């Protein structure tokens, strides 16, 4: 597959031409960017499968997301509010809570 990518990448070689015409009255610069070889790709559309999601599943996912955000927020607030928890193992747990919130 990587050979296929390399072959198609070499087909996109670009040339850059600059022509500068200097006249007594005007000075203009013309830039043109062109492809040496153009590739036409087929645009066959693949139909996506229709997936029915029940309202109960949507509600369950929303509850799961809210519980995750709430739990991670409680872990982080416990770290910042209670100075006795400032231990290396708790910093690891706080790091995982932050990473989970970023996902």
Q: Is 80 within the bounds of a domain?
A: yes
Quote the pTM value. 0.48
Confidence of residue 40 (pLDDT cuts 50, 70, 90): low
**Statement to judge: residues 59 and 94 lie in one domain:** yes
Mean pLDDT to the nearest integer, 42-53: 75
Structurally, the chain folds into a number of domains equal to: 2
pLDDT score, position 43: 61
Q: Report the chain's mean pLDDT, rounded to a whole number.
A: 74
Residue partners of 20: CB distance under 8 A and separation at least 6: 27, 28, 29, 30
Token reading at 1: 């597959």
pLDDT score, position 95: 93
**Statement to judge: residues 59 and 98 lie in one domain:** yes
What distances in angstroms separate CA 65 from CA 61, 68, 103, one per listed residue?
6, 5, 11
pLDDT score, position 36: 52
Q: Is 64 within the bounds of a domain?
A: yes
Mean pLDDT to the nearest integer, 64-71: 96
Domain that holds residue 96: 55-102
**Statement to judge: residues 30 and 64 lie in one domain:** no
**Statement to judge: residues 31 and 63 lie in one domain:** no
**Statement to judge: residues 59 and 25 lie in one domain:** no
Mean pLDDT to the nearest integer, 34-52: 66
The better pLDDT of the pair 31, 84 is held by 84
């Amino acid at each position: 597959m990587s050979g296929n990518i390399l072959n198609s990448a070499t087909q996109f070689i670009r040339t850059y031409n600059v022509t500068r015409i200097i006249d007594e009255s005007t000075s203009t610069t013309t830039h043109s960017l062109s492809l040496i070889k153009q590739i036409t790709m087929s645009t066959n559309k693949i139909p996506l499968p229709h997936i029915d999601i029940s309202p109960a599943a949507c509600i369950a996912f929303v509850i799961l997301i809210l519980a995750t955000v709430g739990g991670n927020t409680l872990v982080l607030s416990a770290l910042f509010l209670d100075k006795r928890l400032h231990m290396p193992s708790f910093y690891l747990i706080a790091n995982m809570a932050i990473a989970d919130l970023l996902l």
